[in-house]
Amino acid sequence: MVNKFRGYVNWAFRAFKPLEHKIILAGDTESGKSTLLYQWKENKFTQQHPRIMTGFEVETFDYPPKCFWSVWNVTLGSDIAKPLLKHFIHNTEAVLYVHNCDPRLDGCDDRTPNLHLWVGLMLENGCRFLYIVPNKQDLLTPEKAGDLAQYLAKIYGEELARYQNQISWRILYHRISAKTGEGVWEILDQLYYELPSDTGSDQEHSRQGVQTEAISNPNPLPMKKAKTGDSQSILDEESDRLLQFAFLVMQHKQISASVSEDSDIIPQALSILQSTTIRQRAMDIDIPPYSKTRACFWIHIVRACLESLCHSNPDGICPRDLDFADFKALFALSRTLWMKYYSQNAWYSIPARMEFAAPDQNPLPDVIEIPSAQQKLLGKKSKKDTVGEQSLEDILVPVLTGRKGVDTDLPCCAGDPACDARILSVEKQ
């Protein structure tokens, strides 16, 4: 009775202070982790692509108001993600292991891939709570659905028996389908009431072994708020960063062509941008995720500007010697130029992150003329630049990270040289 009263008091006080929870979505590659994540983030079904190349993604949202979730979706099939696993799980409160209920996998030998790897990481990093999330139950026949609880209790009971008294774990037995949205919010409801509200309250929890009934909620949760999106200042900073990134890429491409280097500059630059963004978001989730569409858009815009400069100013400023400050002053490009060509839905869509998305408002320009007010700058003497004497990575990483040199020190490894070497080798692939 005392514990129940204490639970009501804790629930009541939660309404008066903001909460933050960090959780990880783990499981097989096609278990539906990304679909589940974007049901929470977008409140709708979004067709996802396997994240073998990107390795991980992280999204933040609030549900209910004043409760903020940072959800990390990690794909272990990626060489990018593996060296960062220890850092991903740092300060994580719970791991949600997504079990794929697709009946076509019933004959597979391993129905719990990488489960012990995740539990080992939990034990090493003080993460106590593991939830088994049986997804894709919409694919089950009524007969198989009726046997699911006993089946899951058997396989996970056997697999997790060795960790008795080391972690607290639970199987979520309500019907869950990330594709249809059934049961997805009940997952967060349960975590909301069961996860500690602060680091000092772990002792109030004693969820050990399989429990077949969900905890009763004392009151229904408020409705989920609409997504708020990133702040304008963060988006402005991203536009500035990508514009400078695009300028340096095109400048390096021109210099490389002039010395007859046979290399594909743009794919190499996009790879550097992607890996650098992944590393930064591992330490600061406020940084916008990598988007191939946004990067390629600004590369196209810079190319169109330099094309104009070459035709209108054959004897003046040389694009290869132009510095970024002069380029900005000459063309006066707006941070929101993309809105002329893309709708917000297209610009910020999930598919636009994975592949280049064609504009849905207006076609991209082939040439961008210099504004008449800036024509006077054409007579300015060119500045000598040494960009061609550096590698593309040495040029781009300081701009993308705001630091000098390639950042290979990650808190996850505490300066471990072996870990640094692995991460650096992955980035250079």
Instruction: Tell me if 408 sits within 8 A of 83, measured CB to CB.
Output: no
Q: With beta carbons less than 8 A apart as the criterion, state whether 252 and 387 touch.
A: yes
3-state SS class at 23: strand
β-pair type (129-135, 94-100): parallel
The pLDDT of residue 409 is 37
The owner of tokens 């700058």 is 377
- With a CB cutoff of 8 Å and minimum separation 6, the contacts of 219 are 11
* Stated pTM of the model: 0.52
Q: Which domains are seen in the chain, by residue range?
A: 2-204 (3.40.50.300), 232-427 (no CATH)
Nearest 5°: phi and psi at 241? -65, -45
**Strand pairing of 56-62 and 67-74?**
antiparallel
Give the number of other Cβ atoms within 10 Å of residue 231's Cβ.
10
**43, 224 Cβ separation under 8 angstroms:** yes
User: For residue 402, which of 278, 248, 241 has the smallest C-alpha distance?
Assistant: 241
pLDDT of residue 371: 79
Which DSSP string corresponds to 409-423?
A: --GGGTT-HHHHHHH
| Among candidate residues 45, 49, 57, the one with its CA nearest the CA of residue 30 | 49
Mean pLDDT by 10 residues, the chain (429 residues): 49 59 90 90 70 66 86 72 74 93 81 88 91 94 87 91 89 91 90 72 37 33 38 78 91 62 75 82 73 93 84 61 83 90 86 86 89 64 52 83 48 39 40
Rg (CA), the chain: 25
Is residue 111 within a helix (H) or strand (E), and if so which, with residue range?
none
Q: For residue 222, say if its preceding peptide bond is cis, omega within 30 degrees of 0.
A: no
Q: What secondary structure does DSSP assign to 136-184, as a single string?
A: -GGGS-HHHHHHHHHHHHHHHHHHHGGGTTT-EEEE--S--BTTTTBTH
CA angle 48, 73, 266 (to 5 degrees): 65
State the DSSP string of 333-379: --TTGGGGT--HHHHT-HHHHHS----SSSPPPS--PPPGGGGGGGG
3 state DSSP class of 39 = helix
Helix (H) or strand (E) holding 99: strand 94-100
Count Cα neighbours of 378 within 13 Å in the Cβ-side half-sphere: 18
